[in-house]
């Protein structure tokens, strides 16, 4: 026969277990929410830090395609022009060539003009190639920034997926824990009720001297005896 104190204690314990399950699940869900928020913040920081590299790389790539004849001219691109350093080198070289030609008396000769043109063309081609290389470097930088951003997005997606999974698990664990606690409390309550019913029946049996007869309503000690004949007979 179950102990009433134990049954009551078990019922109270079931309620406490339900509250503990809810508290634990809430704590786990808050931790997952914090993980989710931190992952999103990190993603935004990375995207912001790399945005200028991505945008600059995209502009350089579009300009490079135009200079190589692979695409239309971008709206903001003014084309390649000789850098100030190359212009200074051109002036210095021209002065040197003209000074040499003048010393030999052939300043305006075809040979002097040809030397100047060859020098100018060579310097311009070298300057253009150098600028194309720099455009390629900027485009590569933008490509790397885009790759790093994609990696950050992938990591963020993984973190978000894990966090959402943890939230779902926490909510499911909470429901299961609460359900088990409630079920246990109900079962304990049923056991206590059955115990009380059994206790009442035992008291009735003791009062009437034994189990009650379902028909007569009397206990064994109160059963009616057979009628005795009167002494007058």
pLDDT tens for each residue of 96-106? 777 776 766 66
Query: What is the rounded CA–CA span in Å between residue 150 and residue 163?
Result: 20
Question: b or e along 205-216 (b: 16 or more beta carbons within 10 Å of the residue's beta carbon)?
Answer: eeebeeebeeee
For the chain, the maximum distance between any two Cα atoms, rounded to a whole number of angstroms, is 185
The two three-digit tokens of residue 194, written as one number = 């059955």
Q: Which of 34, 82, 56 has its CA nearest to residue 139?
A: 56
| CB contact at 8 A, 112 and 149 | no
Among residues of the chain, what percentage have pLDDT more than 90? 21
CA distance 117 to 123: 10
The pLDDT tens digits for 146-192 are 999 988 888 888 887 787 777 777 777 666 666 666 666 666 666 66
- Residue 28 or residue 10, greater confidence: 28
Q: What angle do CA 178, 171, 182 make, to 5 degrees?
A: 5
């Amino acid at each position: 026969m179950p102990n009433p104190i134990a049954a009551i204690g078990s019922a109270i314990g079931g309620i406490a277990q339900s509250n503990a399950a809810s508290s634990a699940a809430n704590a786990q869900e808050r931790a997952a929410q914090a993980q989710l928020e931190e992952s999103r913040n990190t993603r935004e920081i990375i995207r912001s830090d790399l945005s200028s590299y991505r945008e600059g790389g995209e502009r350089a790539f579009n300009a490079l395609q135009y200079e190589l004849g692979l695409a239309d001219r971008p709206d903001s691109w003014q084309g390649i022009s000789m850098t100030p350093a190359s212009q200074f080198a051109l002036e210095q070289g021209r002065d040197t060539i003209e000074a040499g030609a003048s010393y030999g008396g052939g300043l305006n000769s075809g040979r002097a003009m040809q030397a100047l043109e060859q020098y100018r063309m060579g310097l311009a081609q070298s300057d253009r190639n150098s600028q194309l290389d720099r455009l390629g470097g900027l485009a590569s930088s933008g490509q790397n920034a885009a790759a790093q951003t994609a990696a950050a997005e992938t990591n963020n997606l993984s973190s978000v997926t894990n966090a959402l999974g943890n939230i779902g698990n926490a909510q499911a664990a909470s429901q299961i824990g609460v359900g088990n606690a409630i079920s246990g409390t109900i079962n304990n309550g049923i056991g206590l009720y059955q115990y009380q019913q059994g206790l009442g029946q035992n008291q009735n049996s003791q009062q009437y001297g034994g189990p009650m007869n379902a028909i007569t309503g009397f206990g064994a000690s109160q059963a009616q005896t057979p009628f005795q004949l009167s002494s007058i007979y």
